[in-house]
Amino acid sequence: MLVCFVPNNVYGYPCKRHKISLYRSPNSTRNSFFNDDTSSWRKRFTYRRHTDTRTLWKSVDTHSVRMTSEPDKGQESPCNGEDILQSILKRKEVEVAQLKEKLSSESSDNPIVKRLAMEGSFEPKNTFYSALKKPNFTLSVIAEIKRKSPSKGHIGNIRDPAGLSRIYKEAGASAISVLTDWDGFGGTLDDLRKVYAAQQQYRETYPGPAPILRKDFIIDKVQIAEAAEAGASAVLLIVSALGTRTKELLDATYALGLEALVEVHNAEEIDIAVQSGAKIIGINNRNLKNFQVSLEHAIELRRLLPPEVVSVAESGISDPADAWLLRDEGFNAILVGEALVTAAERNNQGVGTYYQTPVNQAYGLIRAFLSKSSRKYANSSSAAFWGQGEGAKEFLGSISI
Ligand SMILES: O=C(O)c1ccccc1NCC(=O)[C@H](O)[C@H](O)COP(=O)(O)O
C-alpha cells in the first residue's frame, strides 16, 4: 500500500519519494480520494500533469494507491511538508537572483538600494515588540492576510486587503501579518503596501497604526530591505529554512531598521534562535512534515524560552478557548490566519461595501480571542465563540469572586 497525504483542496501535489505527481480534478469531491479501487485511480490519474507517464503507471500498477486528506495516526507522511519548504526555498533563490539583477541596474536613489547602502545606520524602533509585549497573561493577536496555503489550498479571495486590515485593527489586533509569497500563498508586496497605507489612518490615535509583519521565506537581506521599503516593521525568519544563517539574517534585519519574528519548530531550533539574539520567537504549531497542528507541542516548547523573549503561538488556532489556553500557558501572542480570513469572507456575500457588513465575524473572533475567559478555569461556550453573548465575562465572574 502506498499512502500519500495530500492537503485538503490541493489539486496538484508532487510526491518526490514515489516519483509521481498526484492530481485531483478541482470538481471532484473529497470523499472520492478515499477510494482504494485501483481502476478508479487510473481514471483519476488521467487528469494529472506528469511528464513521465511510464513511472506513474508503473506505480499505479504495482501498488494500490490511496490518497488521504489526513495522515494516518502516528504515521509520517511520505509526501511531507519538508519537500514543500525545500521547493519554496528553491523558488526563493530564483526570485532573489532576479531581484538582485533588477536592482543592479537601478540608481542609488532606488529606496531598496539606498536602504542597503545605509545598513547599520538605523535606530531600533521596537514597534512590533512593544505591540506584542503586554502585561503577563494578556494576549496579543497578530492577524494574518493569507489567500491560500500549501496545507489548506484556497482560503479566501481577499479582494480588499486594506479593508480587511482595518477590521483586524478595529477588533483589537496588535499587528498584521501579510503573506507576500505569490505561488504558495497568493500574496504580494502590493498587498503589504495597501495594508500599510490603510493603517496610516490610525496615526493620530493610540496606540497608532498596527505594525506589519512581512510573512515570506527570507533567505537574503535584499528581501528585508524590500520589506522595509513596502512598509513592514518586521520580517519572518524561519530557523528550519536558515539553520546557522539565522544570526546573519537577524543581524541584517536589525541593521536595516526592522524587527524579526523568528520561527521555530523544536528545541534545537529554539537554541539557534536564542543564540542568534531573537527577541520575538514564534513556535509554529504546524508540523511541516505532516501539516498536523499540536498546541500541546507548542506549550511544551514555550517552557524552554527565556522569560524576556516575547512568545508567539502560530498556526491552527480558531477556537477562542485555544487562545485562552495559550494565554494561560504564558504565550504573549497568537498568530492567526485561516480562521480570521474564512470568518471575514463568510458574511461578505454582496451586502454593502466589502467588509463593511454590520457584524464581521473576523471582528467577533478577534474580540473573543481577547476576551477574559480561561480554558483552565472555565469551559468554553458556544456563546463565547465569535465573541457573542458575553459568555467570557460570565465565566470570569463565576471564578474570580
Ligand atoms: O500554512 C501552510 O500550509 C504552510 C506551509 C508551509 C510553510 C508555511 C506555512 N504556513 C505559514 C504560516 O506560518 C501560517 O500562515 C500562520 O502560522 C497562520 O496559520 P493559520 O492560522 O493556520 O492559517
Whether residues 211 and 339 fall in one domain:
yes
Whether residues 119 and 171 fall in one domain:
yes
Give the pLDDT confidence score for residue 401 in this predicted structure.
26
Give the pLDDT confidence score for residue 25 in this predicted structure.
36
Establish whether 130 is a catalytic residue. Answer: no
Q: Does the pLDDT value for residue 359 go beyond 90?
A: no
Q: Does the pLDDT value for residue 320 go beyond 60?
A: yes
Give the pLDDT confidence score for residue 99 in this predicted structure.
98
3-state secondary structure of 82: helix
Q: How far is ligand 1, taken at its centre, from the CA of residue 149, in Å?
A: 7
Give the pLDDT confidence score for residue 371 in this predicted structure.
86
Whether residues 44 and 130 fall in one domain:
no
| Mean pLDDT of the chain, nearest integer | 78
Measured at the CA of 315, the angle between CA 382 and CA 372, to 5 degrees, comes to 40
For residue 92, is it within any domain? no
3-state secondary structure of 237: strand
Establish whether 263 is a catalytic residue. Answer: yes
Whether residues 59 and 144 fall in one domain:
no
- Percent of the chain, pLDDT > 90? 62
Q: Does the pLDDT value for residue 121 go beyond 50?
A: yes
Q: How far is ligand 1, taken at its centre, from the CA of residue 239, in Å?
A: 15
- Report the chain's C-alpha Rg in angstroms: 22
C-alpha span between 218 and 89 (Å, rounded): 9
Q: Does the pLDDT value for residue 44 go beyond 90?
A: no
Residue nearest to atom 16 of ligand 1 (CA): 315
For residue 104, is it within any domain? no
Q: What would you measure as the largest C-alpha separation in the chain, in angstroms?
A: 71
3-state secondary structure of 260: strand
Q: Does the pLDDT value for residue 72 go beyond 60?
A: no
For residue 286, give the nearest of 167, 95, 144, 162 by alpha carbon.
144
User: Average pLDDT in the 385-392 region?
Assistant: 43
Catalytic residue (one of 146, 148, 169, 279): 146
Whether residues 163 and 226 fall in one domain:
yes
Residue nearest to atom 19 of ligand 1 (CA): 315
Q: How far is ligand 1, taken at its centre, from the CA of residue 83, in Å?
A: 15
Give the pLDDT confidence score for residue 353 in this predicted structure.
53
- Percent of the chain, pLDDT > 70? 69
For residue 201, is it within any domain? yes
Helices (H), ranges, 68-126:
81-104, 111-117
Residue the block writes with cell 528553491: 90
Whether residues 187 and 333 fall in one domain:
yes
Annotate 179-232 with three-state secondary structure. ECCHHHHCCCHHHHHHHHHHHHHHCCCCCCCCCEEEECCCCCHHHHHHHHHHCC
Give the pLDDT confidence score for residue 349 in this predicted structure.
56
Whether residues 120 and 14 fall in one domain:
no
Whether residues 175 and 271 fall in one domain:
yes
For residue 226, is it within any domain? yes
Q: Which of 17, 37, 68 is the last residue of a domain?
A: 68
More confident residue, 15 or 280: 280
Whether residues 24 and 130 fall in one domain:
no
3-state secondary structure of 172: coil
Establish whether 144 is a catalytic residue. Answer: yes
Give the pLDDT confidence score for residue 361 in this predicted structure.
85
For residue 264, give the nearest of 235, 234, 292, 288 by alpha carbon.
288
Give the pLDDT confidence score for residue 125 in this predicted structure.
87
Q: Does the pLDDT value for residue 145 go beyond 70?
A: yes
Whether residues 63 and 118 fall in one domain:
no
- For ligand 1, what atom is nearest to the CA of residue 152? 3
Residue pair 176/210 in contact by the 8 Å Cβ criterion: yes
Residue 146 beta carbon below 6 angstroms from any ligand 1 atom: yes
For residue 241, is it within any domain? yes
Domain that includes residue 24, residue range: 2-68
CATH number of residue 326's parent domain: 3.20.20.70
For residue 355, is it within any domain? yes
Q: Does the pLDDT value for residue 397 go beyond 80?
A: no
Give the pLDDT confidence score for residue 290 in this predicted structure.
81
User: Average pLDDT in the 264-276 region?
Assistant: 98
Query: Total domain count for the chain?
Result: 2
Total-model pTM: 0.77
Helices (H), ranges, 236-390:
239-242, 246-255, 267-276, 295-302, 320-328, 338-346, 361-370
Residue the block writes with cell 471575514: 344
Q: Which of 43, 68, 93 is the last residue of a domain?
A: 68
Whether residues 115 and 63 fall in one domain:
no
Site to probe by mutation for ligand 1, drawn from 185, 314, 331 as the one with most ligand atoms within 8 Å of Cβ, is: 314
Whether residues 46 and 134 fall in one domain:
no
Beta-bridge partner residues of 68: 5
Residue nearest to atom 10 of ligand 1 (CA): 149
